[in-house]
Chain A
């Protein structure tokens, strides 16, 4: 039984102009200890998928529906808000994109780290403090004890993201969701944070959903990738297969490579022309069609159904990209 099983997740937002379908009909499984990449352009529904699983979508204006979201033996859709609070930060935790703005500026690092421990593990002040120091040292913050009294603005971006990771891992969660966790950081710091997550993930067997628009980062970290476009998963597969044999026109575009008849790929950066569709309008055909370079006749007639290429590798695309 998978650790997390999402079936037909749909998240809508009410706006002035109409209902935006940020996520429509997303389904996937995540095994224990697995690292799943969620890639796609901004606005493709990656973050909203994560927030929906965490039950962090504000309702209203949002509205989350799903046939089921099963996690660790629980149906998350059926949990009350109070029950969801017990899970969040304890059994599943999240690290956000911008460490500059994700930490509360008026609370000390110590306060923000210990509050999770006090809340979920019912530690008293002293024990929580000791554990917080351990955690901060574990994520590579030197002289952690002295830094408990510091405020976030006294830390660098990389340090803050380490703090965020320490907080997320403090209750030994079974699932860690990292939403663009390295995007706002310098390249060298990025590599450090990725190494840290990799190490902690291996040591503890934590399952990770790694959200990124950077395929390079995902390639170095993940076992499997879901490619998202316009609120749907358009392709899913093991990382190596997906890189060598992309099955969807969008994945091809995303990798900046144009396939040639002989199967070799000419690697050069080709930004995908055009813009993603407006998620207010109903989408009937393949959402990527207007921007697709490999479209075939069938694309203009009906929406593509997922096609299986190999075990665990499928794409919703008519073009015969995979041989």
Chain B
């Protein structure tokens, strides 16, 4: 861990190439750890009926507000429900909202971004002003307004978060498309008389896929936090259904007596978002040709 520079008195040892490689490695190791953690959370949520040790909604007042023990790994809440089981079941909502928002943002944001970036001019101007207007709304307030007015079911939650995330994705895609558009091969394809749709789909989309994939991890992380925030404010999942955000809201009343009630969902949200972010960083490094070049240049001892 420590790579403190040698003190002036100590004989100078230049780090071996292995040591330098080891310094680079943690990023990718973290990406792997992130992937494994995320996979574990997803699997647990998907297999909740078999994995969760208790029923997440059944009230057992006899065993309420019990601290973590062998019986209840993360303790119980004010209705005697097992916190660990509620985390596992709650993951279903969070992760499926995350996945739905990713799908929504992809289907709306990518075509908009591609069209805006490829056609430019008026189309671009109109679409980007619309995106600007959307981004002027504070995202959480927009989501609160939409869910509050439409009603708190999962489609509305997904829609409310997706409407915030799609324009951001569109802007990212537009930027990358603009950069790719002028590349030689696109000009060449156009000169050969290819139809715009063909150029966009076969040439540009393939080349802007990496920033899209990376941005989608950002969208997923933002969606998980946004869903939790909505539920925390009472606009998402309704009780008694388990939900990370909602359970934290309930836990506020028992901060002093049952701190595990808020710590467990906070921890799982952090773990989830950290995992996604590490995975995203790893993907960014792996997919970015510029990063390869930088790495090679460093290896050549330049700069």
**Chain A residues within 8 Å of B, Cβ to Cβ:** 12-20, 59-60, 63, 279-280
Contacts and interface: CB of A to CB of B under 8 A. Distances in A.
B14 A19 contact: yes
Contacts of A60: 5
A20 B301 contact: yes
Contacts of B24: 16
A280 B302 CA distance: 12
Contacts of A15: 17, 20, 298-301
Contacts of B12: 63
B14 A17 contact: no
B299 A14 contact: no
Given A14-B15, A16-B20, A280 B5 contact: no
B21 interface: yes
A274 to B, nearest CB: 17
A18 B301 CA distance: 9
Given A18-B17, A63-B12, A13 B301 contact: yes
A277 B295 CA distance: 21
Nearest to A20: B301
A10 to B, nearest CB: 11
Interface in B1-50: 5, 12, 14-17, 20-21, 24
Given A12-B14, A63-B12, A63-B14, A17 B299 contact: yes
Contacts of B21: 16
Nearest to A80: B8
B10 to A, nearest CB: 12
A16 B5 contact: no
A16 B20 CA distance: 6
Nearest to B23: A16
A20 to B, nearest CB: 5
Contacts of A59: 5
A16 B14 contact: no
Given A19-B14, A20-B301, A280-B301, A14 B20 contact: yes
A17 B19 CA distance: 10
Contact of A14 (B14, B295, B300): B14
Interface centre among B16, B295, B298, B300, by most A CB within 10 Å? B300
Interface in B258-303: 295, 298-301
A134 B110 CA distance: 61
28 contacts: A12-B14, A13-B301, A14-B15, A14-B20, A15-B17, A15-B298, A15-B299, A15-B300, A15-B301, A16-B20, A16-B21, A16-B24, A16-B295, A16-B298, A16-B299, A16-B301, A17-B17, A17-B299, A17-B300, A17-B301, A18-B17, A20-B301, A59-B5, A60-B5, A63-B12, A63-B14, A279-B301, A280-B301
Nearest first, the 9 A-B pairs at minimum CB distance are A15-B301, A14-B14, A16-B299, A20-B301, A16-B20, A19-B14, A17-B299, A18-B17, A63-B12
A60 B21 CA distance: 17
B299 to A, nearest CB: 4
B217 to A, nearest CB: 27
Contacts of B301: 13, 15-17, 20, 279-280
A279 B295 CA distance: 19
A63 B14 CA distance: 9
Contact of B17 (A12, A13, A16, A63): A16
Interface centre among A15, A18, A63, by most B CB within 10 Å? A15
Interface string B220-233: 00000000000000
Contacts of A280: 301
A103 to B, nearest CB: 21
Nearest to B298: A16
A13 B303 CA distance: 11
Interface centre among B14, B20, B21, B24, by most A CB within 10 Å? B14
Interface centre among A14, A59, A60, A279, by most B CB within 10 Å? A14
